[in-house]
Structure formats: C-alpha cells, structure tokens
Amino acid sequence: SQTIHQWPATLVQPVGSPLSLECTVEGTSNPNLYWYRQAAGRGLQLLFYSVGIGQISSEVPQNLSASRPQDRQFILSSKKLLLSDSGFYLCAWSVSGPLSYTQYFGPGTRLTVL
C-alpha cells in the first residue's frame, strides 16, 4: 500500500531563517506531488505541483520554492522566512496521468514563524 510521510511534524523558526520541509511517498512510482498551505482559519491553497523529477509548477508567487530531486521526494524551501509563512503545510500525491483525480494527503507540518 502507499504511504506518504512529512517531516518535521512541527517547526518554530525565527523570521529571516531558512526552511526545508520534506515529503516522501512509498509504494508508488512517478506520482504527481503537491504542496498546499493552510493558513489559520482559512482553506487550502495549492502552492506547487510536480509531475516528475525536476518538474515544478508554481501556482502563486511567494517566498517559497519547491524541488523534486528524486521520484518520490518533494521538498519545500525558503531562503528567508516571513511571518506570513506561518501555517499548516500539507503534501499530497496522486497517481500520474490525466485520468487520476484523487489526491492523498500526508499528516502535515505546522510551521510557526516568530
């Protein structure tokens, strides 16, 4: 069966510090991968998605970047965190190809920027 992991589970960082959140998927090959952010009291916003190694699409301009160095690894980064980067970050995967439609989410990382 497929599983998706995220770490760390929680993170407290000062403004201006760098960020690296990691997501890995097991039990599937060539998945589509996604990063979402959920700000406090708000819905989910798609940040990035990837359909293959090195292929990243950004949905909104922001202070963050994403990379996919391996097939089942997706990394969310920032060089300098802002207060507004605080939130709950969710990674998700779906089966590759145009017929896929169900996304499966990881447990999330709660980021607090002080």
Give the residues lining the site for another protein (CB under 8 A): 6, 32, 34, 42-44, 46, 49, 51, 57, 59, 90, 92, 94, 98, 100-108
Report the C-alpha gap between 98 and 9 in whole angstroms.
31
Q: State the Cα–Cα distance between residues 53 and 88, nearest whole angstrom.
A: 25
Q: Which is nearer to another protein, 49 or 74 (CB)?
A: 49
Q: Are 5 and 105 in contact (CB under 8 A)?
A: no
Enter the DSSP assignment of 83. G
- State which residue, 15 or 39, has the beta carbon closest to another protein: 39
Which is closer to another protein, CB of 48 or CB of 75? 48
Q: How far is the CB of 51 from another protein (least distance, A)?
A: 6
At closest approach, how far in Å is the CB of 83 from another protein?
21
Nearer to another protein, 5 or 80 (CB): 5
Tokens found for residue 77: 């980064």
Q: Least distance (Å) from another protein to the CB of residue 101?
A: 5
Distance of closest approach, residue 79 Cβ to another protein, in angstroms: 26
Four-point Cα dihedral 58, 77, 90, 97, nearest 10: 40
